[in-house]
Amino acid sequence: MTALAAILMRDMRLAVRVGGGALIGVLFFLIVVTLVPFAIGPDLVLLARIGPAILWLGALLATLLALDRLIAMDQEDGSLDLILMAPVPLELALAAKALAHWLSTGLPLVVAAPLLGLLLNLDPAATGAVALTLAAGTPALTFIGLIGAALTVALRRGGLLLAILVLPLTIPVLIFGVAAANAAIVGPVPFGTPFTILCALTLISIVIGPFAAAVALRQGLD
């Protein structure tokens, strides 16, 4: 347990120190969402209707932004070798890293979403629904991204391949995240139906992500 706490604390510290990715994700989210009203124009009805989708797309891209640092940084400075050799199961170490990544980049997005909802003319109920779906869905993005991050490290390819690998896998999360938010705002489907599937997707990726990432890293040993 101390080993996992150690890696969690270290990654959180690194994220908030100089050169860390914590603030970058939120700022990118802010910029993407701010750009949309400029691109679409001041049509308040239209903005409110597509608002949840824009918040979700922004969160998806912001999560992706910091993903290539998740494992690659540890590979560059040799830490990954020691993590691979340690008695701590690699799956758990990777899960702790992904959790730290979500706490430092995913959670701030959830907190920032209500603020950005104002820019998109979302009423309080709609904003709350989007924030709730983001809170339930962004861990899935991080843990799916963990697989991509491990694969790109194992294949010795950079972050560009990562986006192409990860984005298609996040489509179900995006669909049910936006569907749940829209269900809460306009109906007619009850909120619980897509939201339950979203939670299931998150739970599945939390289970599968660390195992798949560990397999990828072990296969890539050289």
Partner 1 sequence: MRLMASELACIRGGRQVFHNLSFTLGAGNALVVTGPNGAGKSSLLRLVAGLVHPAAGQLALEGGNGELTIGEQAHYLGHQDALKTALSVQENLAFWVGFLGAGDAKVDAALAAVGLDGLAALPALYLSAGQRRRLSLARLVAVERPIWLLDEPTSALDVAAQGLLADLMRTHLTGGGLILAATHGPLGLAAAQELKLGATR
Site residues (CB under 8 A) for partner 1?
2-3, 5-7, 9-10, 13-14, 17-20, 76-79, 81-88, 221-222
Q: At its nearest, how many Å lie between partner 1 and the CB of residue 87?
A: 5
Q: At its nearest, how many Å lie between partner 1 and the CB of residue 125?
A: 41
Q: Which amino acid is at 63?
A: T
Token digits of residue 38: 């400029």
Distance, in Å, from the CA atom of 51 to the CA atom of 54, rounded to the nearest integer, reads 5
- 68 vs 138 by CB, closer to partner 1: 68
Q: At its nearest, how many Å lie between partner 1 and the CB of residue 84?
A: 6
Our measurement of the distance from residue 199's CA atom to the centroid of its chain's CA atoms, rounded to an integer in Å, reads 14
Name which of 65, 93, 78 is nearest 162 in CA terms.
65
- 91 vs 121 by CB, closer to partner 1: 91
- 8 vs 169 by CB, closer to partner 1: 8
Distance, in Å, from the CA atom of 199 to the CA atom of 212, rounded to the nearest integer, reads 20
In this structure, are residues 107 and 83 in contact, taking their beta carbons and an 8 Å threshold?
A: no
Distance, in Å, from the CA atom of 184 to the CA atom of 192, rounded to the nearest integer, reads 9
Q: At its nearest, how many Å lie between partner 1 and the CB of residue 201?
A: 31
- 46 vs 84 by CB, closer to partner 1: 84
Q: At its nearest, how many Å lie between partner 1 and the CB of residue 74?
A: 8
- 13 vs 124 by CB, closer to partner 1: 13
- 80 vs 166 by CB, closer to partner 1: 80
Can you state the angle between helices 44-67 and 124-154, rounded to 10 degrees? 30
CA angle 151, 5, 216 (to 5 degrees): 15
Q: How many residues does the chain have?
A: 222
Q: At its nearest, how many Å lie between partner 1 and the CB of residue 90?
A: 11
